[in-house]
Structure 1
Amino acid sequence: MATSCRNLFGLEQYDGRCEFFGDGPAALPEGLGWFILVGLGAVFACVPTVLIWLDRKFGTLRHDSESFSTAGRSIKAGLTACDVVAKWTWAATLLQSANVAFSFGVSGPFWYAAGATVQVLLFAILAVEIKRKAPTIHTFLEIIRCRWGTTAHVVFTVYGVMTNLIVTAMLILGGSAVIEALSGVSVYAASFLIPAGVVIYTAVGGLKGTVVAEWLNVCVIYITLLIFMFQVYATSEDLGSIASVYVRLRAMEIKYPVADNMGGSYLTMFSKSGIIFGIINIIGNFGTVFVDQAYWQGAIAAKPSATYRGYLLGGLCWFAIPFTFATTMGLGARALDLPITKAEANKGLVPPALAVHLMGKGGAFLMTLQLFMAVTATACAEQMAVATIVAYDLYKPYINPNADGRTMVMLQRFVVVIYAVLSGGIAVVLLKVNVNLSWVYLFMGIVIGSAVFPIAASLTWAKCSATAACVSAVVTTPLAIMTWLITAAKLNDGVLNLDTTGQDYPMLAGNLVALFFSMILCIILSYIWPQDFDWAELRNIPLVESDPNSDPNNFDGDDSPAALNTVVRFTWTVGGALTLLLLIVWPVLALPARVFSQGYFTFWVMVAMIWGIVASAVCMLLPVIEASDVVVAVLRGKRLANSAGSPGSSNRDHQRPGAGVHSGVGSGGGSGVAGSAIAAAARSGGAAAQLKAAAAGAKAGAPPAPPVLQLPVSTRTRV
C-alpha cells in the first residue's frame, strides 16, 4: 500500500498520488533508455576489450585456453577484491536492500549487508584451499568428479547450473523493471539487451575480460553511490542533513508505525521482520556463493596470496554497498513520505523514486547507469561460469575427452552467446507469471541451499563420502520445498499463491530446512560411510594446455605452498571473527540504544558514510596501483620483460630458463643445473624425451608437475 495519498511533509506534487510511477510519463526519454542499453553497452564492451588487447600486447596475458578460462591464475588482491564486489553486487543489492530499509528501517540495510557478507568472508577459506589442494582446476565440479565420481558430478552440476540461472534471472528481473519504470523501454526488450551487452568482452577476453570489465563497473557503482549519499545527507534541499532525516523518520513512525518494530520506529534494531529477513538472507546467500561457479573461478584466477586477501578485502568493501546505499536511499525515500506502493517496492523501485525526486532526469540517469553497471558486472561472470561448466564438466569429460585448447575456447564462446539469449528468455517467462525480484531473492535458498555443505566439505573434510553428499542434497531439496509450501498453506487457510508463498515464515522455514537438514544428514551419513580421501589425488586433475601458474612449486614468498599452509589458520580465524562481529557483536551492541537517539543515528550514518568512502577508494585505486607495471609498459610501448609467465607475480619461472614448462608427462621442477637440463629435455619434444625428463627430475628430487594433456608447447592455442 502507499505511504499516503497526501504527503506528510508538504510536498504538494505528491498530494493525491497513491503511487509514484503509475501511468504518467517516464522520468527519462525512451531514447535515452535505449542509449544506455545499446550505446553505453557497446562502449563498456569496447573498453575492456581494448584493455585486454593491451595486456596481451604489452603485458603478460597469454593467448591460450588456460588463460581464457582462468585468467592465467595471476590476478592480484585488489582486482580480486573488485571481482568479488562486482559479482556480489546484483540488482537486488541496490534494489532489495533499499526496499527492506524502506519497509523495516535501519535494521534492513544492516541485515542485508551483514547477512550477505559473511559468506564471502568464509569463502576465503575455500579460496586458499583451492590453491593448496587443487591448483589445476577450472571449476569446483572437477573436484566433485575427482572425489566422488560421475553420479555426484552430475548431481552437483545440476545444482551449479540452476544457481547460475536463478542469479541471472534475478539480475535481469531487477534491471529490466527499473529501466522500464525510468525510461519506458519495454521490459521484455531490456530482458534480452541486458545480457547481450556483455557478450562481446566475455567471449573475446574470457575470464580476464570479465574481471577487467568488473573493475570498470565497480568504479561507476561506487561513484554513483557517493553522489546519492552526499545528496541525501549533505546537499539536498528537502533533506540535506542527518538531523533532517532523523526528524522526518520520527514523524513517520507516529503516523505510519512499522508493525513488530519497537515503538513502531524505523530507528531501532528491535525489528521482528528485520531479524527474519536477516536469517533468510544469511541462509539463502550461502547457496549463491558456495554453489556458484563464478566465485570459484574468481579464486582460481587469483594469485595464491591474493585468494584470502582478495576475498576478505572484497567482502568488507562490498558490505558498504548495501549498507551505505540502503541507509541512504531506503531511509531517504521513507523520510520524504514518497507515495511508493508495496508492489513498486517489491519490484525494486524505491531507489529510482528517490533518485528522480532528488535530481530529476539526472538522478534517473544515474540510477539507471548504476543499475546497468551492477547487472552487467554480474551477468558477465555468470556467463563465463556457465561456459566453463559446459566446457570442462560436460563436453570434455563426457563428449570429447581429447578436446584441444582451441576447441575448448570456441565452445566457451558459443555457450556465452547461447546463455545470453537463454537467460533473457527465462526472465521473460518469470515476468509473464508476475514473479518479482523480492520473491525470487527469498526463494533461491530453498532450492540450492541443500548443496552448500556437501560442496564446502568436498575441499575441507576428507571423510565426507559420495553417498553422504548426494543423498543429503537430493533428499533435502524436495523436503525444503514441501516445508515451504506446507507452512504457507497452514498460515493462509490452504491458499497458495505468490503472495502467501512469499511471506516471511514460509520462506524462513524452507530456507532453514534446506541448509541445516542437509548439513546434519551429510555429517551423519559420512560417519556411517566415510571416505578417507587423499587430497593429493586432486593434483591429478589435468590441464588442457601448459600453465606454469598451476604448479605451486613455481612460487616463492607469499605465494609459496609453505606460506599458504601458514595462512590457513589465519584465514579461518579472521573469517570466523568477522562473521561473529557482524552477526552477533554489532547487532547486540546496538540493542541497548533501543529506539535510536539523534546522536546515535548520526553515529550510525557516519559509519555507513565513512565505510562507503573507504571502500570506494580501495576498489578504484588499489587495482591501478597493483597494475602500475603494465600501465608503464603501455605508456612506453614496450612489452614487460617477464612476459613468459604471469602478470606481476613473484614466480621463479621468470628467473631461470625453462622452469615451469609443463608439457607432456613431466617438466620443470628441480633446481640449478638439474632443473635447466630437465626443462631443456622437456622442450625438445616427443614422448621419449619427456619420459627421460621425468626420470631425470625424479632423480634430481624435482617435484612432479600437474598433469597436462599430451600437447607440445609449440601447439599452444592462441585465442
Structure 2
Amino acid sequence: MSETQAAIPLSQGAGYGVVIGLGALFALVMIGVTSIMRRRGNVENAEEFTVAKRSLGTGLTAAGVTSSWTWSTTLLSSATVAYEYGVAGSFFYAACNSTQIMIFSNLAIESKRKAPNARTFLEIIRVRYGTVAHLSFMFFSLASNILVVSSILIGGAAAINSLTGMNVYASLWLLPMSVTAYTLRGGLRATILTDYVHTAIILIIIFVFWFKVYATGDQIGSPAKMWDLLHDAAKRNDYPAPTKGGTYLTIRSLGALKFAILSILEYTGVVFLDNSFHQKGIAADPASAVPGYVLGGLAWYAMPFTLATTMGIAAIALENTPAFPTYPNRMSTTEISAGLTLPYAAQTIAGTGGAGAVLVLMFMSCTSAISSQLIGVSTVLSYDVYKTYIKPSATDAQILRAGHYCVVGFAIFMAAFGSMLHGVKIDLGFIYNMTGIFTGSALPALIATFFSTRQGPLAAVASIWTGFFSAVITWLTLAKRFSGTVNIASVGRTDPCLYGCIAGIGAAAVVTIAISIFHNARYTWDTLGAIRLTDVDGSDKDVAFEDPTYNPERLRKAAHIARAITVFLFLALFIVWPLSLYGTAYQFSEKFFTGWVIVSLLWAVFSFGSITIYPIIEERHRLLSWIKEFSTKPKVEETDSVDEVKVEPDDSERVPEDLTCGDIRTKPEVLSI
C-alpha cells in the first residue's frame, strides 16, 4: 500500500483557474442565453425559473436527467469499484444506478396525470396528506439533497487537491459559488442548456481516455494487451480481488453484488426524494416525460460503464509501472476511499494532460449536478416553505426573489457543511454507503402516494418514521457487531449500511401496507387535480385545460408504456444480463473481453448521439431562429403613410411582460415627420 503522498502533476494556479475561470465563463454564457431568450419574449418569472414553463422536449429532458445524475461521485466511485472488483465493479455500478432513472419515468407521468399543476412533489404530499406528512417528507428530501451535494463536493475537492494541490476548503467554497453565479441568472431552462454542454464535454473526455488506453497508447494499446495485464496483476497481487478465484475478469463477486443491491436501493430513494428529478419531469412537456427519462437512463449507463471499464481497470493494469503516482506501492485504503483511482489512472496514461482532463471532468460533473440541486432545493424552500407557511399571499415576483435567496443560502450552507465533514475526515466512500439510511424508509410511502388509493396520512407518516428508526438501529447495531466498535470506519462499511437500508425499506413497507389494509383511505385524486397555478397577475391557471397535450387518454397510454419499458429494462439490465454472468462465474476470455470493451465504446457513442446530437436535431428550428435573430439588427419599418415612421423600441424602453396588465403590451412609438 502507498505510504508516501503521490506527486502533484499540476499547479495550484491550474486548479483556481479552472474552478474560477470556467465558472465565470459559464456565468457569461448564461447571461447571453438568458438575453437571447428575453429578446424572443421569454419572461423570467417563478414558473420559468423553476420548471421552464413545462415545455422541455425529449432531448433536453434526457440531457438534463443525465447531467443531474452524472456527479463527480459517479466518475470517481465507478472507477474505484472497478479497481477493487475488476469488470464486475464497472458492470454492476452502471446496471444498478441507471435503472432508477428509468423507473422514475413512472412517477413523472403519474404526476402529469394526477397533479398537472403541481410545482414540487412535496406539494402533492401536502395536498393529499396534510402538514405533518408534508414536513416529514420535506425533512428526508432535504436530507437527501444535503448528502448528495456533500458527496459531490467532498469527492470533487479531494480529486482537485490530488491533481493541483489546491486547498480542499477553497474548492469546497469556490465550486458552489461558481455554480450559483450562473444558476441565479438562468433558472432551470438555461441551467439545463449549460449542463448539456457540460455532459458533452464529459463524454468527449471519456472517448479520449478510451482511445488512449485501448487504441493509441503505448502502455496498453489494445483490449488483448489489457487482458494479459489484468491476468498478470492478479498473479502479482496474489489474486486479491474479492471475486471468484481472485481474478479481475469475472462478474462473480459477492462483494460487488452487495454493492449493487445497496446502490439500487439507496439511490432509488435519492432519485425519488430529490425534487430536482421531479422538477425535470414537471418541466418536460407531456409527450417527452417518459421517453426523456428512459433515454436519459440508457444514455447515463455509458458514463460509469465506459469510464470505469477504461480507467478503473487501467489503474489495476499499470499500478506496478513507474508512471503510476504511488509506484512502487499500491494505493492505500485512504486513497481508494477518497476516490483517487481516476486521477491516478489519468496521470499514468497521459501525464499532465490526463490530469488536466480529470480536472475539467471534476469541474463539469460537480457544477452540472450542483446546479440541479440548487434549483431543486430553492424550489422546495420557496414554494413549500415560504409560499406555504411564511407568506401564503406571496406574489410571483416575491416567490422568484425568495428562490434566488434560497439558491445563495443553500450554496453557502453546503460549502460550510462540506467543510465541516472534511474537517472530521468524512470521505466519499462513507457518504456513498450510508446515504440509504436516510433515503430508503421514504420509498414505500412515496411510491404508494402516486399509485395507491388506500394509503392515508397515518400510514404515510407512520411508515416513514418507523422505517427510519429501524434503519438507524440496524445500521449501528450491525456496525458494532461486525467491527466491535462504532466509529466512522465501522459505520461506513458496506454490510451494516446495506442491512440498515433493507431494514428501513422493509419496516416502512410493512407498516404502510398493514395500516392501509385496516384503514383504507379511499382517496379519489380529486384534490390533486384541483391544484392550480397562479399567473403573474394573481389569477388561477390550469395547464391541463389550456394545453391539449394533457389529454387523459394519451397520458394513460403513456403510463402503461412507462411501466412496460421499466419492467423490460430492469429485467434486462439488472437481472438477466448481470446475474446470468454472475451465476455461471464465467471467466472472460480474450475474445469476450475484447467484445466487452467494444460494447462499452459503442454505448458511449449511443449516449453521445442521444444527449448531444439528438437535442440539436430536435431543437434545430428554435436554434436557427435564435441565430437569425441574434445576428439581425433592428430595422426601421416604413408604413404606407409617407408622414409616419414606426420605430420599434429597444429593450431598454420595452415594458417587461410581468409589468403589463392583461393583454396590454407596449405599442410601437409613432413619430411624425
> TM-score by structure 2 length?
0.90
> Residues 304 and 62 of structure 1: is their aligned pair in 2 closer, same or farther, counting only changes over 3 Å?
farther
Partner SS state of residue 541, structure 1: coil
1:52/1:208 contact within 8 Å kept: no
Paired residue for 2:72? 91
Q: Are positions 1:478 and 2:469 aligned together?
A: yes
Specify which of 257, 262, 266 is matched with residue 248 of structure 2: 266
C-alpha distance in 2, partners of 1:110/1:173?
A: 25
Partner SS state of residue 197, structure 2: helix
What is the CA deviation profile of residues 637-695 of structure 1, one whole-angstrom value per residue up to 9, with x for unaligned ones? 1899xxxxxxxxxxxxxxxxxxxxxxxxxxxxxxxxxxxxxxxxxxxxxxxxxxxxxxx
2:86/2:241 contact within 8 Å kept: no
Deviation at 1:458, TM superposition (A): 1.3
Paired residue for 1:657? none
> Residues 402 and 122 of structure 1: is their aligned pair in 2 closer, same or farther, counting only changes over 3 Å?
same
C-alpha distance in 2, partners of 1:638/1:273?
A: 55
Deviation at 1:454, TM superposition (A): 1.2
Paired residue for 2:271? 289
Specify which of 161, 169, 191 is matched with residue 210 of structure 1: 191
Specify which of 363, 368, 383 is matched with residue 377 of structure 1: 368
Specify which of 119, 139, 142 is matched with residue 100 of structure 2: 119
Specify which of 200, 209, 218 is matched with residue 219 of structure 1: 200
Q: Are positions 1:232 and 2:213 aligned together?
A: yes
C-alpha distance in 1, partners of 2:62/2:32?
A: 22
Q: What amino acid is aligned across from residue 229 of structure 1 in structure 2?
A: W
> Residues 549 and 226 of structure 1: is their aligned pair in 2 closer, same or farther, counting only changes over 3 Å?
farther
What is the CA deviation profile of residues 471-515 of structure 1, one whole-angstrom value per residue up to 9, with x for unaligned ones? 11111112111101111111123x111222222221111111122
> Residues 401 and 31 of structure 1: is their aligned pair in 2 closer, same or farther, counting only changes over 3 Å?
same
What is the CA deviation profile of residues 105-141 of structure 1, one whole-angstrom value per residue up to 9, with x for unaligned ones? 1111111111111111110011111111111111100
CA RMSD of aligned residues (A): 1.9
Paired residue for 1:691? none
C-alpha distance in 1, partners of 2:619/2:357?
A: 29
Matches within 5 A, 1:143-222: 143-222=124-203
Specify which of 517, 520, 523 is matched with residue 527 of structure 1: 517
1:72/1:549 contact within 8 Å kept: no
> Residues 359 and 260 of structure 1: is their aligned pair in 2 closer, same or farther, counting only changes over 3 Å?
closer
Q: What amino acid is aligned across from residue 363 of structure 1 in structure 2?
A: G
2:30/2:185 contact within 8 Å kept: no
> TM-score by structure 1 length?
0.84
Q: Are positions 1:102 and 2:97 aligned together?
A: no
What is the CA deviation profile of residues 333-352 of structure 1, one whole-angstrom value per residue up to 9, with x for unaligned ones? 10112432221111111010
Q: Are positions 1:614 and 2:595 aligned together?
A: no
1:260/1:271 contact within 8 Å kept: yes
Q: Are positions 1:605 and 2:597 aligned together?
A: yes
1:55/1:630 contact within 8 Å kept: no
Partner SS state of residue 166, structure 2: coil
Deviation at 1:614, TM superposition (A): 1.3
1:90/1:378 contact within 8 Å kept: yes
Deviation at 1:539, TM superposition (A): 2.1
Paired residue for 1:14? none
Number of aligned residue pairs: give it: 625
1:139/1:296 contact within 8 Å kept: yes
> Residues 584 and 23 of structure 1: is their aligned pair in 2 closer, same or farther, counting only changes over 3 Å?
closer
Deviation at 1:462, TM superposition (A): 1.5
Q: What amino acid is aligned across from residue 416 of structure 1 in structure 2?
A: V
1:104/1:258 contact within 8 Å kept: no
- Greater displacement, 189-198 / 484-493: 484-493
C-alpha distance in 2, partners of 1:550/1:217?
A: 34
Paired residue for 1:330? 312
Q: What amino acid is aligned across from residue 509 of structure 1 in structure 2?
A: Y
1:552/1:561 contact within 8 Å kept: no
1:262/1:594 contact within 8 Å kept: no
Q: What amino acid is aligned across from residue 99 of structure 2 in structure 1?
A: V
Specify which of 500, 512, 525 is matched with residue 502 of structure 2: 512
Paired residue for 2:45? 64
- Greater displacement, 381-390 / 591-600: 591-600
C-alpha distance in 1, partners of 2:630/2:24?
A: 29
- Greater displacement, 325-334 / 527-536: 527-536
Q: Are positions 1:38 and 2:28 aligned together?
A: no
1:177/1:187 contact within 8 Å kept: yes
C-alpha distance in 1, partners of 2:217/2:630?
A: 49
Specify which of 629, 649, 655 is matched with residue 637 of structure 1: 629
C-alpha distance in 1, partners of 2:38/2:250?
A: 53
Partner SS state of residue 530, structure 1: coil
C-alpha distance in 2, partners of 1:149/1:76?
A: 33
Deviation at 1:554, TM superposition (A): 3.5
Identity %: 33
Specify which of 453, 458, 471 is matched with residue 467 of structure 1: 458
1:73/1:550 contact within 8 Å kept: no
Q: Are positions 1:431 and 2:438 aligned together?
A: no
2:382/2:399 contact within 8 Å kept: yes
Partner SS state of residue 185, structure 1: coil
C-alpha distance in 2, partners of 1:419/1:229?
A: 37
Partner SS state of residue 198, structure 1: helix
> Residues 353 and 260 of structure 1: is their aligned pair in 2 closer, same or farther, counting only changes over 3 Å?
closer
Paired residue for 1:317? 299
Deviation at 1:598, TM superposition (A): 0.9
- Greater displacement, 300-309 / 49-58: 49-58
What is the CA deviation profile of residues 149-190 of structure 1, one whole-angstrom value per residue up to 9, with x for unaligned ones? 111111111111111111110110011001111001100010
C-alpha distance in 2, partners of 1:518/1:639?
A: 58
1:73/1:549 contact within 8 Å kept: no
Paired residue for 1:417? 408
Paired residue for 1:697? none
> Residues 639 and 40 of structure 1: is their aligned pair in 2 closer, same or farther, counting only changes over 3 Å?
closer
Q: Are positions 1:303 and 2:285 aligned together?
A: yes
Specify which of 219, 222, 229 is matched with residue 241 of structure 1: 222
**Structure 1, unaligned stretches of length 5 or more?**
3-17, 641-710
C-alpha distance in 2, partners of 1:208/1:515?
A: 34
C-alpha distance in 1, partners of 2:120/2:631?
A: 31
2:532/2:542 contact within 8 Å kept: no
C-alpha distance in 2, partners of 1:252/1:632?
A: 53
C-alpha distance in 2, partners of 1:77/1:37?
A: 31
Deviation at 1:369, TM superposition (A): 0.4
Deviation at 1:200, TM superposition (A): 2.0
Q: What amino acid is aligned across from residue 241 of structure 1 in structure 2?
A: S
Specify which of 341, 354, 358 is matched with residue 367 of structure 1: 358
C-alpha distance in 2, partners of 1:630/1:458?
A: 37
Specify which of 531, 551, 558 is matched with residue 567 of structure 1: 558
Deviation at 1:246, TM superposition (A): 0.6
C-alpha distance in 2, partners of 1:118/1:144?
A: 24
Q: What amino acid is aligned across from residue 79 of structure 1 in structure 2?
A: L
Deviation at 1:255, TM superposition (A): 2.5
Partner SS state of residue 42, structure 2: coil
Q: What amino acid is aligned across from residue 273 of structure 2 in structure 1?
A: V
Partner SS state of residue 435, structure 1: coil
Q: Are positions 1:27 and 2:9 aligned together?
A: yes
Q: What amino acid is aligned across from residue 274 of structure 1 in structure 2?
A: A
2:133/2:460 contact within 8 Å kept: yes
2:251/2:586 contact within 8 Å kept: yes
Deviation at 1:435, TM superposition (A): 0.8
Deviation at 1:714, TM superposition (A): 6.1
